[in-house]
Structure 1
Amino acid sequence: MPANSKQSLRDEQKLQTRARLLDAAKDLFATRGYAAVRVDEIAAAGGASRATFYLHFTSKLEVLRAIAEQSTAPSALHFYEDLDRVLDTGSRAEFVAWMTRAIAWFHEYKDLLPAWDEATALEPEFREIARRGILALPNAMTSYLARWPAARRDEARLRVELLVAQLERFFTRWAMQGTIDVTAAQAAEVLTDIWFPALQTPAPAQAGSE
């Protein structure tokens, strides 16, 4: 077998091992949270040794970070790029539809949310990753930000960050703790009542107004 074929085979095997470790970690984090899972358990569930694990990742935290970068971060960014488009339409109905999709997105990733929360509380590095992730969301909304006066764009970003925070908190209480008794459709309507007006661009200042 040519040397380059052997190298390609080794590279493919490494990619497969890494993927197995990520899938194993995702399952473990979803069922047991972040703190309780050990590197040895991830390696065993992925069909690898502890030494092999450390060929691919430096720590349990790096695995969780890779899962976030691989799945949740890109899709979350897409949702706020889509929100930018929705706000351009000025349509409340479009906003309700977006809110419904956002709730469904949280539901897709709900099994991993406790692990994110644990890692954010326990790991300063992951807390910084989470902070950067939140900051990236309003920055993806270029049309929305451009409609705000330059002096108020930090406020515009804050409004989006508060929307993200409320959606996360609502979903935790609704789908995970069961302390809010409402349908997804009802929640989307009420959240729209709150956030559709809150995200509107301020009217231009009138000439001569104080």
Structure 2
Amino acid sequence: MSLRRRQKEQTRHDLLECAKTLFAERGYAAVTIDDIVAAVGCSRATFYLHFTGKPEILRRVGAETLAQRAVAVYADLDAVLDSGSRAEFTAWMRRAVAWFEANQAILPAWDEALALEPEFKEIARSAVAELPAAMPHYLKRWGPRRRHEAHLRIELLVSQLERFFTRWAIQGTIESSADEAAEVLSDIWFPALLPPGHRG
């Protein structure tokens, strides 16, 4: 890679990292492109060489985070459901909550952008819809005729986990330990994700 190309890649990386930090600290609406370029030490023109605007840079930050979730969290769930173990599922719930805790700083900015930027609705919808692709064994057990239902169940699980985490860790309106929440969420979701023929 040429020196110029390395410098360009480094600038792009720095813009993404600074934007992520600023969005986490201040939220989406309060951060401007000028804030991001000032933190990096480059010009607005340089910013626009890499991104079309503020929505795109948050989308790029979010895409990395959501792709990580699909691989690390939902591929893991596919293996756990394959085991048929309620205890393994509860352990997965704890790991899923830990993933949200590790990424909680950026999640409010993403929610804020969803409310402010119409294009984000489709991006968020696509991100959730892609999660079951990380779960081929789960989908196979439901069969082609019930594939849509299987997708919907995962999408509802994701939605409930996100809402629970927002109210529990960010807003503080749910009082519970992580372990207690994992147990109760497992009571709800472990049977709900089993195909009808596999339920006890």
Q: TM-score range by the shorter chain?
A: over 0.9
Give 1:69 deviation, angstroms: 2.0
Give 1:119 deviation, angstroms: 1.1
1:91 aligned to 2:59? no
Question: Aligned partners of 1:150, 1:23: CA distance in 2, in Å?
Answer: 41
1:41 to 35, 44, 47: 35
Moved more, 190-199 or 47-56: 47-56
1:66 aligned to 2:57? no
Give 1:82 deviation, angstroms: 1.1
Give 1:3-152 correspondences, 5 Å limit. 8-70=2-64, 72-78=65-71, 79-152=73-146
Moved more, 172-181 or 45-54: 45-54
Which residue is 2:149 aligned to?
155
Give 1:28 deviation, angstroms: 0.8
Question: Aligned partners of 1:69, 1:148: CA distance in 2, in Å?
Answer: 28
Structure 1: runs of 5 or more not aligned:
1-6, 205-210
Question: Aligned partners of 2:24, 2:62: CA distance in 1, in Å?
Answer: 13
Q: Deviation per CA, 1:86-120, whole angstroms, max 9, x where unpaired?
A: 00000011101110000000011101111110111
Structure 2: runs of 5 or more not aligned:
none
Q: Deviation per CA, 1:30-74, whole angstroms, max 9, x where unpaired?
A: 01111111111111011111111111111011111111222x122
Secondary structure class of the residue paired with 1:34: coil
The structure with the largest alpha-carbon Rg is: 1
Q: What amino acid is the match of 1:151?
A: R
Aligned residue pairs: how many?
197
Moved more, 27-36 or 144-153: 144-153
Secondary structure class of the residue paired with 1:110: coil
1:189 aligned to 2:183? yes
CA RMSD across the alignment: 1.2
Give 1:188 deviation, angstroms: 0.7
Give 1:174 deviation, angstroms: 0.3
Normalised by the length of structure 2, the TM-score is: 0.95
Q: Is the 8 A contact 1:28 1:37 kept in 2?
A: yes
Moved more, 128-137 or 148-157: 148-157
Normalised by the length of structure 1, the TM-score is: 0.90
Q: What amino acid is the match of 1:181?
A: E
